[in-house]
Structure 1
Amino acid sequence: MADANASDTPAPGELRRSPLHERHEQAGAKLADFGGWLMPIEYAGGGVVAEHTAVRERVGLFDVSHLGKALVRGPGAAAYVNATLTNDLGRIEPGQAQYTMCCDATGGVVDDLIAYLRSDHEVLLVPNAANTAEVVRRLAAEAPAGVEVTDEHTTYGVLAVQGTRSDEVLQALGLPTGHDYMSFVDTTWRGADLVVCRTGYTGERGYELLVPWDVTVELWDALGEAMQQHDGRIAGLGARDTLRTEMGYPLHGHELSLDITPVQARAGWAVGWKKPAFWGRDALVAEKETGAARQLWGLLAFERGIPRDGCTVRLDGGDEVGRTTSGTFSPTLKQGIALALLQRGVGEGDEVVVDVRGRGLRCRVVKPPFVQVQTRGE
């Protein structure tokens, strides 16, 4: 078992570690800094492409314990969250989850996160690792009397089982499956309380499991054993990134930031426009009415080459029209793909040139997702 407090107080300058750190080292993982956490990019014996393909075709298991966890609890907790974050919690019921954003007064995105509605008096939030403390700080600073906001970052590990065989893997452990997309079930496993969520970041059918920190290793091992029957793989955050890019899902710090609003990022569907109040409402409503000066698009390379983030995008005539925000090789399409913020007037079907280290890479502007998966839109 892992020490539940192992990552609570890292030494100055030291990266936090998942409860599965030793398992990652044993599996020959290539490790890197993700939001202040030392996490696996890929594992020995396959690499990103093999891990990506396993998720698309069978099943993969990710450690995403670096994701934040915060609890908002007390009389009127849900109403308070609804008056601060963008999406409308009134659209869902207890037992359901919702994608939402924490914005500042300018409409810029402090973080995007998942809200799990437990009751009118309790909401569990899962923000990104690097932004957890800031989200908690902002919510705590304006919380009304009786509402408490606590950082539960190292209370839970988070494991993601993603792919067409994910149900069978969970069923082998006696865990609940088959509930609706963006819903969650509280259950127990070997005496430990778990939350089984029908969520994910890959586009495939899958589940994310919130597990007590000191039970994470035991559950990881059991899931890994069950997955072997389906030729599944443990997968690192490199494959998670290629999978989400193929789906056109935004990543904070790339497609969303304090300088990139939900309107620009095509995430207006996660804004409760009819709500009377949420942080950044005035700025976002004004931008929606006037139209964003730039918008997120996909770029599909139709010649050999891989666009990366931060590349200049130009028209064939040489005029600069934007910059890429993410870029990668698509293992599914066997082509280079990118997401890019492009100025108004550039649209689907247009041809552009991406400057990749001084070389012009010709791409077509497309509307994501780049690939279609069977369970998308559940």
Structure 2
Amino acid sequence: MLTSDVAPGKLPPMTDVTSDAAATRLRRSPLHERHTAAGAKFAPFGGWEMPLEYAGGGVLKEHTAVRTAVGVFDVSHLGKARVSGPGAADFVNSCLSNDLGRIGPGRAQYTLCCDDATGGVVDDIIAYLYADDHVFLIPNAANTAEVVRRLRAAAPAQVTVTDEHEAYAVLAVQGPRSAELLAALDLPTEHGYMSFSAASLAGVELTVCRTGYTGELGYELVVPAEHAVAVWDALFAAGAAFELRACGLAARDTLRTEMGYPLHGQDLSLDISPVQARSGWAVGWDKPAFWGRDALLAEKAAGPRRTLRGLVAVDRAIPRPGMTLHVGDAQVGIVTSGTFSPTLKQGIALALVSADANLTDGDEVEIDIRGRRAPLKLTKPPFVTPSVK
């Protein structure tokens, strides 16, 4: 999941938006003052002013902290919506792509909100299943209002869809030492991947879910917004012993790209279906109904005209979104996400590649970098092996 809120093509430039009049139009995290005190560089993400990186660290150190120790990300800009009432879970299951019937209460699930007519992806979402009458959704910031609008329009009379975007903060504690840190704070760590439980920290009731967007062992804490500072302070009070570092959304982007995780707005979109993005594992193909079902079944049967593939640079080139891929004189695709991998010390990318090109992993293509060609090799993600599988 992610932050679908970076403009396609590149991460937003680092800016001191506290001095920018436009910043007054952006929402701010309840942890904004903590970020400012830590020397954060801010950037707009989906209508929010969020930390991109921090003084004394930067993307490389923050990225490395998550791969080797533990980092914490403020991802409070992510959306929050609650679907409640008799039959709420069945209703959500009839709309979103994945099958909630595969999981039970206390589990979370990655799922997609697709357009019913085209099968394109409106957003990718984490769904928390509390009970048959209670589902909590975490969409991307920029898409929350649209997801809520579509659900409300389809909801039966007894089901209520509530936008709770600013009611909660979300802290992602990620890295091989994340469980040690949470255990030191008496937070639960033994529940399985994509499961959640209620807990308490610093007198604050919160939810701990074994999820993340980095590939490492990690947890996400859903906290009432008015208590976010108390939880943040408690994490850092205990965190020095575990080499805890505050991490910005730039490092989150390099971490997720190393794992080959798609970003909505670049690797998934209304124009890029789950079939094209190789996200069919998040579709309940046997369900009788979900938005986009007919279009997606037809595309799956016919075979997509393009698919999302991984690329690793052969030389020092750094692929960027929007760069075209070539084999000889033929254009065969386009980069959707690309960055420098701090772990591999190489350029890596995700790209939509034409099915007609008949390329397989190990084949080489070239990207066009302002008229210069640079070779890349098709590689199946993830590009790195996380410390904890």
TM-score (norm 1): 0.95
Aligned to 1:306: 318
| Aligned residue among 298, 303, 315 for 1:286 | 298
Counterpart in the other structure of 2:370: 357
- Does the CA-based 8 Å contact 2:67-2:175 persist in structure 1? yes
User: Could you tell me how far 1:190 is from its partner in structure 2?
Assistant: 3.3
1:18 is matched with which residue? 29
Matches within 5 A, 1:129-144: 129-144=141-156
User: Counterpart of 1:153?
Assistant: 165
CA contact under 8 A between 2:205 and 2:223: conserved in structure 1? Answer: yes
- Which of 70, 76, 83 does residue 72 from structure 1 map onto? 83
- Deviations for 1:244-270, whole angstroms, at most 9, x for unmatched residues? 000000000010000000000010000
Q: Is the 8 A contact 2:202 2:230 kept in 1?
A: no
Contact 1:307 1:361 in 2 (8 A): no
The aligned counterpart of 2:207 is 195
**8 Å contact 2:97–2:114 — kept in the other structure?**
yes
The 2-side partners of 1:160 and 1:318 are apart by 45
Paired residue for 1:178, among 177, 180, 190? 190
Tell me what 1:114 maps to: 126
Distance, in Å, in 2 between the alignment partners of 1:152 and 1:364 is: 44
Deviation at 1:81, TM superposition (A): 0.3
Tell me which residue corresponds to 2:285.
Answer: 273
Shift in Å, 1:361? 1.6
Checking the alignment, whether the CA contact within 8 Å between 1:84 and 1:278 is kept in structure 2 is yes
What are structure 1's unaligned runs of at least 5 residues? 1-10
In the TM superposition, residue 356 of structure 1 has moved relative to its aligned partner by: 1.9
Q: Which residue of structure 2 aligns with residue 50 of structure 1? A: 61
Which residue, 250, 256, 259 being the options, matches 1:238? 250
Aligned to 2:95, the other structure's residue is in SS state coil
CA distance in 2, matches of 1:117, 1:129: 20
Farther-moved stretch of structure 1 (367-376 vs 130-139): 367-376
Could you report, residue by residue, the CA deviation over 1:96-133 in whole angstroms, capped at 9, with x for unpaired residues?
Answer: 00000000020000000000000000000000000000
- Greater shift, 229-238 or 12-21, is seen at 12-21
Q: Which residue does the alignment assign to 1:375? A: 388
For the pair 1:338 / 2:349, whether they are aligned, the reply is yes
Indicate how the Cα distance of structure 1 residues 83 and 115 shifts in structure 2: closer, same or farther if over 3 A, else same.
same
Q: Is residue 23–residue 49 contact of structure 2 (8 Å, CA) maintained in 1?
A: no
Query: Which residue in the other structure is 1:59 paired with?
Result: 70
Which residue number in structure 1 is paired with residue 105 of structure 2? 94
For residue 139 of structure 1, give the secondary structure of its aligned residue in structure 2.
Answer: helix
> Could you tell me the TM-score, scaled by structure 2's length?
0.92
The letter of the residue matching 1:354 is I
CA contact (8 A) 2:109 2:194 kept: yes
Q: How many residues are paired up?
A: 365
Kept in 2: contact 1:61–1:224 (CA 8 A): no
Following superposition, the deviation at residue 350 of structure 1 comes to 1.1
Distance in 2 (alpha carbons) for counterparts of 1:12 and 1:304:
36
Question: Can you list the C-alpha shifts for 1:258-303, whole angstroms capped at 9, x where unaligned?
Answer: 0000000010000000000000000000000011000000110010
For structure 2, the residue ranges without an aligned partner over 5 or more in a row are 1-21
> Which is further off, 122-131 or 168-177?
168-177
SS in 1 for 2:223: strand
After TM superposition, the structure 1 stretch with the greater mean CA deviation from structure 2, 227-236 or 149-158, is: 227-236
1:61 partner letter: V
SS at match of 2:270: coil
Task: Tell me the equivalent position of 1:3.
Answer: none
CA shift digits 1:161-218 (9 cap, x unpaired): 0001001111122111111000000122233220000000000000000001011011
Output the amino acid matched with 2:262: P
User: Following TM superposition, by how much is the alpha carbon of 1:12 offset from its aligned partner in structure 2, in angstroms?
Assistant: 10
Q: Percent identity among equivalent residues?
A: 67
Distance of 1:38 and 1:270 partners within structure 2: 30
How far apart, CA to CA, are the structure 1 residues paired with 2:66 and 2:177? 9
CA contact (8 A) 1:60 1:161 kept: yes
Residue aligned with 2:232, SS = helix
1:5 maps to none
How far apart, CA to CA, are the structure 2 residues paired with 1:189 and 1:169? Answer: 12
Equivalent residue letter for 1:313: L
CA distance in 2, matches of 1:358, 1:63: 39
2:228 is matched by which residue type in structure 1? T
CA offsets, 1:30-56, max 9 Å, x none?
Answer: 100111100011101110010000000
Q: Following the alignment from structure 1 to structure 2, what is the Cα–Cα distance between the partners of residues 356 and 97?
A: 41
The Cα of 1:13 is off from its aligned counterpart by: 7.2
SS of structure 1 residue aligned to 2:33: helix
Secondary structure at 2:76 match in 1:
coil
SS of the residue corresponding to residue 83 of structure 1 reads helix
Corresponding residue for residue 297 of structure 1: 309
Rounded to whole Å, the distance in 1 between the matches of 2:131 and 2:287 is 20
CA contact (8 A) 2:314 2:376 kept: yes
